[in-house]
Structure 1
Amino acid sequence: MAVNPRAAFGRHRDVGPRVVAALRGGGYGVTALLEPDYATLRSAAASALARPDGGCADALVVVGGDGMVSLGANLVAQTGIPLGIVPSGTGNDMARGLGIPLDDTDAAIAVLTRALGCGIPGSPVVVPGPIITRTIDAGRVHHADGTTWFASVVSAGFDARVNERANGMRRPRGASRYTIAMVRELIGLRAIRYSLVVDGQARELDALLISVANNGSIGGGMRIAPDARLDDGALDLFVVAPLSRIGLMRVFPRVFRGTHTSLPQVSLERVRSVALDAPGVVAYADGERIGPLPVTIEVVAGALRVLA
């Protein structure tokens, strides 16, 4: 089990120990991983999944936000090892898409233990039952440094610029850092010229934002692709055409309600693969930095088993 100790800026440090206690009480042996940084945690989780006897772990459980889901997806995609999620981060969009309770840790743990078939604590013999999983799609990004899996969304526009700026800021440390980064990016708002290849068809266009979504939301509930399905074998290409600062700020609130899709500046298209290129644009997948464009994104149907 991999735990992000800094999830939601450290406000939920108790969640990891509660998950460990629930799983051990239900009859599972748990390897709890709590490392000081993301890279070390990923390495430790990869080592823990490789059992000395040549077998595989029953599941990988991640505790945190979408960054931890990204870590898990990149370790278990196409392996058959189920991924469990107990949300305790800031955005938690993948948990939202899977219907895992967001603001009730006990309820989220109950979803996990039910899927794992945990035994009843206090019984004379606690034996886990059969594991219940859901099979969903995942996205795969090919880029200059290799391949990255994602569960929710790849961003390559205004929102990615906000992430890039926020990650370069040392202060403030809380969620307000992203608000400040967004305001600063709005000052220099400009359209980006993109070259795309969508399901084999080349096109060029100007846009403020392009995202490729497997899940319906991003950024803590912004419903950029409200009709996206996790198991339809497709991705949703989301494009926002050039807008003024005022125009973008008018569109922005509607994204949380999912009512922006009727606007003429917004387009959504169901696709299987997208190649993206634009100068000076950095791509992010599930909130984690991939690197500069170009990238090629494809859906891989049924690549993930999840406990939900």
Structure 2
Amino acid sequence: MWLLLFNPTSGGGKGRRYAEQSLTLMRERGHEVMEISGFDFRDAEAKFKAAVSAYRDQIKAVIVVGGDGMVHMAIQQLAGSNIPMGLVAAGTGNDFARALNLNLRDPLSSLELMLNNEPVKVDLGKVNDRFFADILSTGFDSVVNERANRMRWIKGRMKYNIAILLVLSTFKPKSYRFRVDDIEFTTEAMLIAVSNGQSYGGGMKVTPEARIDDGLFDVMLLGPVSKLEFLKVFPKVFSGAHINHPAVKIMRGQKVTIDSHAVAYADGERIGELPIT
């Protein structure tokens, strides 16, 4: 039996459309499929957790139809198990799909890949008791997320654009205590990303050389820069060219500890206050 987990509201309705197309294709080929969704994110999470617990030994694979938030939900139940997971990208950001090199213009092609090929292993990050698939970050972008999440009267990407402008006007670098494997140091930074994948925020290549199967995190630190310089550097994140800026440092390691008076987000979900490992 296959489980198909989908968010009917993801990507402006793409989630429901691609889920229906996926179900039709799979059932036409004789596969038994159980579909799981909910009236909201938490409802879907509870139903998925219950289904995995009840049918764990009968599940051939899980297909997630949605974005990075749905992937984050799914891996909490599937990490460390022998149950494969496939992804039909139907979200807004789709950064984990980018890390997997999936075809975002033809999301159903990834379903064909899953039906016709053997699964491969990829890395996941783990922070406290939660797994993350793509990138954990703290600093400027986490403050932007905190601000945007309070702006419930504005929807979509515009909410984050406004939050960026509001936060930038008062944001100051913070002091962080770091440990990357056996290297310990203290530094001031505006933005820190601990990356399994390459991008977040819908294609911002914060760590363009990261790989999800190398057993290592790519850690990007943006040191203190003026607000004007930040505005110059920030657009370069979409191409990955920011890593050539003298204020940017890239490290690699298997275990990272960060401590400061700040909060962290992973896969777009709030993890909580530092310290974290």
Offset of residue 272 of structure 1: 0.8
1:289 maps onto 2:270 in alignment: yes
- Tell me the residue number matched to 2:182: 200
2:26 aligned partner, one-letter code: L
Q: Deviations over 1:53-95 (max 9, x none)?
A: x614111111111111111111111101111111111110010
- Tell me the residue number matched to 1:61: 63
2:239 aligned partner, one-letter code: R
Offset of residue 98 of structure 1: 0.7
Offset of residue 103 of structure 1: 2.6
CA distance in 2, matches of 1:67, 1:29: 25
- Tell me the residue number matched to 1:38: 41
CA distance in 2, matches of 1:11, 1:230: 26
Alignment counterpart, residue 154 of structure 1, candidates 132, 136, 141: 136
Offset of residue 6 of structure 1: 2.3
Q: What does 1:176-187 correspond to in 2, within 5 Å?
A: 176-187=158-169
| Cα contact 1:22–1:113 (8 A) shared by 2 | no
Alignment counterpart, residue 230 of structure 1, candidates 206, 209, 212: 212
| Cα contact 1:22–1:109 (8 A) shared by 2 | no
Q: Deviations over 1:90-137 (max 9, x none)?
A: 110010111111132xxx2232133223xxxxxxxxxxxxx5112111
1:41 aligned partner, one-letter code: A
Q: Provide the secondary structure at the position in 2 that maps to 1:226.
A: coil
Offset of residue 9 of structure 1: 4.2
Q: Which has the higher contact order (CA 8 A, sep 6+)?
A: 1
Please say which of residues 266-275 and 164-173 is displaced more in the overlay. 164-173
- Tell me the residue number matched to 2:51: 48
1:171–1:103 distance in 2 versus 1, CA, 3 Å: farther
Q: Deviations over 1:160-216 (max 9, x none)?
A: 111111111112112211111111111112101111122133211100001100001
Offset of residue 263 of structure 1: 0.9
| Cα contact 1:194–1:204 (8 A) shared by 2 | yes
| Cα contact 2:103–2:109 (8 A) shared by 1 | no
CA distance in 2, matches of 1:248, 1:270: 24
CA distance in 2, matches of 1:180, 1:200: 40
Runs of at least 5 residues in structure 1 that lack an aligned partner in the other structure: 118-130, 297-308
Runs of at least 5 residues in structure 2 that lack an aligned partner in the other structure: none
CA distance in 2, matches of 1:184, 1:10: 30
CA distance in 2, matches of 1:9, 1:273: 37
Q: What does 1:208-227 correspond to in 2, within 5 Å?
A: 208-227=190-209
Offset of residue 294 of structure 1: 1.0
Alignment counterpart, residue 92 of structure 2, candidates 90, 107, 121: 90
Offset of residue 12 of structure 1: 4.7
2:99 aligned partner, one-letter code: G
Q: Deviations over 1:29-68 (max 9, x none)?
A: 111112012222111111212345x614111111111111
Size of the aligned set, in residue pairs, is 274
Aligned-residue CA RMSD (Å): 1.5
Q: Provide the secondary structure at the position in 1 that maps to 2:36.
A: coil
Using structure 1 for the length normalisation, give the TM-score: 0.85
| Cα contact 1:251–1:260 (8 A) shared by 2 | yes
Q: Provide the secondary structure at the position in 2 that maps to 1:45.
A: helix
Q: Which runs of 4+ in 1 moved over 4 A?
A: none
Offset of residue 259 of structure 1: 1.1
CA distance in 2, matches of 1:12, 1:47: 21
Using structure 2 for the length normalisation, give the TM-score: 0.94
Q: Provide the secondary structure at the position in 2 that maps to 1:137.
A: coil
CA distance in 1, matches of 2:21, 2:150: 33
Offset of residue 230 of structure 1: 0.8
2:130 aligned partner, one-letter code: T
